[in-house]
């Protein structure tokens, strides 16, 4: 199983390395841009939830009312 995956990955890597550089760039951006946007969205949501859990907004008393 892993030998087949390794062989496939080597073939894809060789194909990508032999492409013209502008095509390499376009392919890498097409793959990485959505991944980076998704990771940024997830990190933003996690930070929002954690900061809401640990902190309170200014002007609130202990009952949670402004």
34-61 pLDDT, tens digit per residue, is 999 999 999 999 999 999 888 866 655 5
The dihedral over CA atoms of 9, 6, 35, 26, expressed in degrees to the nearest 10, equals -10
State the pTM of this model: 0.57
DSSP for 4-31, written as a single string: HHHHHHHHHHHHHHTS-HHHHHHHHHHH
Place of tokens 């902190």: 55
Give the pair of three-digit tokens for residue 58: 């200014």
What percentage of the chain reaches a pLDDT higher than 90? 70
Give the CA distances from residue 61 to residues 8, 22, 53, 65, in Å, rounded to whole numbers and listed in that order: 60, 58, 16, 6
State the pLDDT at residue 23. Answer: 95
Grade residue 1 by pLDDT with cuts at 50, 70 and 90: confident
């Amino acid at each position: 199983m892993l030998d087949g995956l390794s062989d496939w990955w080597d073939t894809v890597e060789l194909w990508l390395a032999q492409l013209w550089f502008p095509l390499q760039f376009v392919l890498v951006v097409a793959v990485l841009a959505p991944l980076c946007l998704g990771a940024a969205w997830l990190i933003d949501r996690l930070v929002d939830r954690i900061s809401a859990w640990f902190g309170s907004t200014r002007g609130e008393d202990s009952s949670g009312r402004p």
